[in-house]
């Protein structure tokens, strides 16, 4: 028995040594974009090379890594699809650049993948700034139907539309994402989430011409922590009410800094007859510097000239604010403009301290059809009705 045991230990040891020497099936196989004829310099379209490298990496059964090395690669619109035969990493160490005149729904999209990792510290540079009146403004980077995945340490800039869009994704983490677009670039959201569950955004810096983080219908169990936002339109839920029975629930925003944004923490719904619900939202430890509308519910949101008039049928309830501090560029620091037919309820304010930037006067709060409770420091004085 001792001889057999010794032989088994020796066999395991030999296998470990072979793994270290050969690097065979002990680690993911590397697929280098340069090996597929890609040309650096930003002048030659490398879309075909990227698609071929992706398809080969996706077929590999034991896990794979597609590597974009340092340098600039011009790439047109590409759709990178699964399902893949194993976990797959897209490691961008260089710069992927979109061509001028790009149109369509997306630039780079990952779809139907389980176990995706996008990393590398590299850049994804769009073809922006957006052109007013253009019918097609592609999203820079999109995850669609992606599960158990992550994106980490990447840079997104100059998008014509949303920089990073997650649609119908589950259990996905975004960490150390840097977004950069001009303040006056319209509709260039930083990170937009829709119909997704279990999304975690952390330790990221977002500068854009629209919402830094936009949480749309069908989203639940979303956490946003350690995000620095500005310029931009703040961290928003909505708009809601575009279709029937839209829901957003269990949203957690913590330890974020909003700098010079037009809005801070915002929930927006349209005044339509479509019912919906926003509930179980928690904002905690958020610091604001010179924000126009630090805390705002807008249930008459109208992004166009002609909108339906009336009361929003979307209910906002069970929303809590804790330790929200900073300065406002306007004197209205808290503004709950809620629906007359579906009032906001179960709103909680705890330790709010938002001063007017100019110190010329005190900040105030406005409440319309809103009820709840306030605790601790309240600057401005709470207007919630119990």
Determine the Cα–Cα distance for residues 140 and 126; give it in Å rounded to an integer. Answer: 6
Contact 289, 318 (CB under 8 A): no
Sign of torsion, CA 144 150 154 157? positive
Q: How many helices (H) and strands (E) does the chain have?
A: 2, 26
Tokens of 2: 């001792």
Residue 169 buriedness (CB in 10 A; 0-12 / 13-18 / 19+): buried
Please name which of 214, 270, 210 lies closest in space to residue 242, comparing C-alpha atoms. Answer: 270
Chain centroid to Cα 37, Å, comes to: 33
Contact 124, 140 (CB under 8 A): yes
Determine the length of the chain. Answer: 386
Select which of 211, 233, 292, 318 is catalytic: 233
Determine the Cα–Cα distance for residues 240 and 271; give it in Å rounded to an integer. Answer: 9
Determine the Cα–Cα distance for residues 154 and 138; give it in Å rounded to an integer. Answer: 19
User: Is 210 marked active-site?
Assistant: yes
Cα separations (Å) of 237 from 214, 285, 326, 353?
A: 6, 18, 21, 22
Cα separations (Å) of 376 from 125, 287, 350?
A: 46, 17, 6
Select which of 210, 211, 292, 318 is catalytic: 210
Strand 123-125 relative to strand 139-157: parallel, antiparallel, unpaired? parallel
Determine the Cα–Cα distance for residues 118 and 110; give it in Å rounded to an integer. Answer: 10
- DSSP string covering 20-41: HHH--TTSPEEEEGGGGT---S
- Tokens 């066999």 label which residue? 11
User: Which positions are annotated as active-site residues?
Assistant: 210, 233
């Amino acid at each position: 028995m001792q001889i057999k045991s010794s032989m088994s230990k020796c066999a395991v040891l030999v296998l470990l040594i072979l793994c270290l020497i050969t690097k065979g099936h002990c680690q993911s196989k590397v697929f280098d974009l340069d090996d597929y004829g890609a040309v650096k310099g930003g002048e030659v379209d490398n879309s075909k090379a990227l698609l071929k490298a992706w398809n080969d990496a996706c077929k590999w059964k034991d896990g794979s890594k597609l590597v974009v090395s340092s340098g600039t690669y011009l790439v047109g619109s590409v759709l990178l699809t699964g399902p893949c035969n194993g976990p797959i990493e897209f490691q961008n160490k260089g710069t992927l650049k979109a061509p001028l005149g790009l149109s369509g729904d997306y630039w780079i999209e990952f779809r139907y993948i389980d176990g995706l990792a996008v990393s590398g510290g590299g850049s994804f540079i769009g073809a922006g700034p957006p052109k007013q009146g253009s019918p097609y403004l592609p999203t820079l980077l999109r995850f669609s139907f992606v599960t158990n995945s992550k994106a980490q340490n990447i840079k997104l800039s100059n998008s014509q539309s949303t920089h990073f869009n997650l649609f119908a994704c589950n259990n996905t983490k975004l960490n150390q994402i840097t977004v950069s677009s001009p303040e006056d670039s319209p509709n260039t959201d930083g990170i937009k989430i829709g119909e997704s569950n279990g999304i975690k955004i952390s330790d990221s810096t977002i500068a854009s011409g629209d919402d830094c983080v936009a949480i749309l219908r069908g989203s639940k169990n979303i956490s946003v922590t350690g995000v620095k936002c500005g310029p931009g339109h703040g961290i928003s839920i909505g708009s809601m009410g575009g279709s029937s029975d839209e829901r957003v629930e269990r949203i957690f925003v913590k330890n974020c800094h909003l700098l010079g944004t037009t809005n801070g923490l915002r929930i927006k719904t349209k005044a339509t007859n479509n019912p919906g619900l926003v509930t179980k939202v928690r904002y905690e430890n958020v610091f604001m510097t010179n924000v126009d509308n630090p805390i705002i519910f807008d249930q008459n949101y109208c992004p166009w000239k002609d909108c339906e008039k009336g009361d929003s049928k979307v209910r906002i309830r069970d929303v809590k604010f804790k330790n929200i501090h900073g300065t406002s560029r306007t004197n209205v620091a808290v503004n709950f403009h809620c629906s007359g037919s579906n009032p906001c309820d179960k709103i909680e304010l705890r330790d709010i301290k938002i001063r007017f930037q100019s110190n010329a006067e005190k900040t105030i709060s406005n409440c319309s059809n809103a009820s709840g409770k306030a605790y601790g420091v309240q600057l401005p004085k709470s207007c919630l009705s119990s």
